[in-house]
């Protein structure tokens, strides 16, 4: 009989291995504790750095935002007064405005450009790897170096931009003037980041289901129609993701503004991080304000991240 064999084994095992219930529980608890401890040994090193240098500083920013004074000279508690002062402090509000204006200018240009490049790049066979290499190269340029390069492009006397204008018989332009500096900074960011998102989109486009495109072609859908009714809807989540992440990166702009224009002319390219840096190390009574505007940045980034996480979760739910 088939059923008899397991029964015998169970009987055997029961006789040999049965422990008192309390003893059994104790052993199980101990084994579990050991496994937990092992897991923490693995997670621990990274987790300590994560808590000390990321979680604690975020709360630290909260604490500093209630202080008044300098970072080295000692501070006093002023409660929420810094936030009350913020709207009247032109230097701070201008920085916040510039940062958001910068993101609003650069992010759409980056993503539209990247999508255009990706749509073409995804359909190229020969030479694709060369194009990818060249398109991606500016991504690897540190912001400081990129700004240095753009000093050569935007220089009023011998810069490449004005040389080109001159070749077409146009008058030279002051590229880093107070009206143009922020847009130029945004275009610099496009130059640096368009390749990153182009490569990102290429992977997404190649992953789209080909059957849909074949069906659309059979139905006589034109290229633009396929883009409008297939590619865009299929890429919706990917695009939303890119908008959020590119905006988060855009809000952090600092190094290019420092090297290309030093925040100027005037305050035309003074961004949040730039201002924080100035307030902390260039003045001895504004560390609280610096923390308060850092907090604006942190809150903006965290809200965008949470939007992002909800999007990802709804994708998981929808599949």
Partner 1 sequence: MRAGGGRGTAEMRSVAEADLRARNRRRRLGGIARHVFLALVTFLLVAPFYYVVLASLKNSTEIFTYPPKLLPIPIFTGNYEKLIFHTGFPRWMLNTMFVAGTVTLVKVFIDSMAGYALAKLELTGKRAIFLLMLTLLMVPLGALIVPLWSLTSTLGITNTYLALILPPLANPLGVFLMRQFILGLPSDLVNAGRLDGLSEFAIYRQIILPLIKPGLVVLAVIIFTDQFMSFVWPLIATTSDDLQVLTVGVAALRAHGGANYGLWSAAAVMSLVPIGIFFFALQRQFLARSLAGALKQ
| Footprint on residues 8-37 left by partner 1 (CB under 8 A) | 32, 35-36
CB closer to partner 1, 105 vs 295: 295
Nearer of residues 14 and 282 to partner 1, judged by Cβ: 282
C-beta of residue 118 within 8 angstroms of C-beta of residue 198: yes
Contact assessment for residue 188 and residue 204, using Cβ atoms and an 8 Å cutoff: no
Using CB under 8 A as the binding rule, whether residue 195 contacts partner 1 is answered as: yes
In terms of DSSP H, where are the helices of the chain? 4-17, 21-50, 56-64, 81-85, 90-121, 128-136, 143-154, 160-167, 181-206, 210-218, 223-226, 232-234, 236-250, 255-256, 272-282, 287-318
Q: Which is nearer to partner 1, 14 or 254 (CB)?
A: 254
**C-beta closer to partner 1: residue 8 or 42:** 42
Phi, psi (rounded to 5 degrees) for 68: -130, 140
Site for partner 1, residues 205 to 224, rule: CB under 8 A: none
Cα gap 114→109, rounded to integer Å: 8
Nearest distance in Å: CB 171, partner 1: 14
Within 112-131, the residues that bind partner 1 by CB under 8 A are: 117, 120-121, 123-124, 127, 129, 131
Can you tell me the distance from the alpha carbon of 190 to that of 146, in angstroms, rounded to the nearest whole number? Answer: 11
Other Cβ atoms within 10 Å of 297 Cβ, number: 20
Query: Using CB under 8 A as the criterion, what x/- string covers residues 58-87 for binding partner 1?
Result: xxxx-xx------x----------------
CB of 245 to partner 1, least distance (A): 7
Binding residue for partner 1 (CB under 8 A) from 84, 232, 309, 310?
309
Q: What does the buried/exposed string (b/e) look like for 55-64 if buried means 16 or more CB atoms within 10 Å of the residue's CB?
A: eeeeeebeeb
Q: Which is nearer to partner 1, 182 or 289 (CB)?
A: 289
285 binds partner 1 (CB under 8 A): no
Among 108, 138, 183, 264, binds partner 1 (CB under 8 A): 138
CB contact at 8 A, 237 and 315: yes
Query: Shortest distance, CB of residue 26 to partner 1, whole angstroms?
Result: 18
């Amino acid at each position: 009989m088939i059923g008899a064999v397991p029964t015998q084994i169970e009987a055997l095992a029961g006789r040999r291995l049965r422990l008192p219930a309390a003893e059994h529980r104790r052993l199980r608890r101990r084994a579990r504790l050991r496994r937990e401890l092992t897991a923490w040994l693995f997670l621990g090193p990274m987790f300590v750095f994560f808590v000390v240098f990321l979680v604690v500083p975020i709360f630290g920013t909260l604490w500093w935002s209630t202080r008044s004074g300098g970072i080295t000279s000692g501070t006093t508690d002023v409660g929420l007064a810094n936030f009350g002062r913020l709207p009247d402090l032109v230097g701070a509000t201008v920085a916040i405005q510039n940062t958001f204006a910068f993101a609003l200018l650069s992010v759409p240009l980056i993503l539209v450009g990247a999508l255009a490049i990706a749509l073409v790049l995804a359909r190229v066979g020969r030479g694709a790897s060369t194009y990818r290499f060249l398109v991606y190269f500016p991504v690897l340029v540190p912001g400081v170096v990129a700004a240095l390069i753009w000093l050569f492009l935007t220089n009023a006397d011998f810069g490449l931009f004005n040389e080109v204008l001159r070749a077409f018989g146009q008058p030279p332009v002051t590229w880093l003037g107070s009206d143009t500096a922020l847009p130029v900074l945004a275009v610099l960011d496009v130059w640096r980041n368009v390749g990153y998102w182009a490569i990102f989109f290429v992977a997404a486009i190649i992953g789209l289901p080909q059957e849909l495109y074949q069906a659309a072609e059979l139905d006589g859908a034109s290229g633009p129609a396929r883009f409008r009714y297939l590619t865009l809807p299929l890429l919706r989540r990917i695009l939303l993701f890119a908008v959020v992440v590119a905006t988060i990166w855009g809000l952090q702009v600092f190094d290019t503004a420092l090297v290309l224009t030093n925040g100027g002319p005037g305050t035309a390219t003074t961004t949040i991080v730039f201002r924080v840096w100035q307030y902390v190390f260039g003045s001895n009574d504004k560390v609280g304000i610096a923390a308060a505007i850092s907090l604006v940045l942190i809150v903006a980034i965290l809200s965008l991240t949470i939007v992002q996480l909800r999007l990802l979760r709804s994708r998981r739910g929808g599949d």
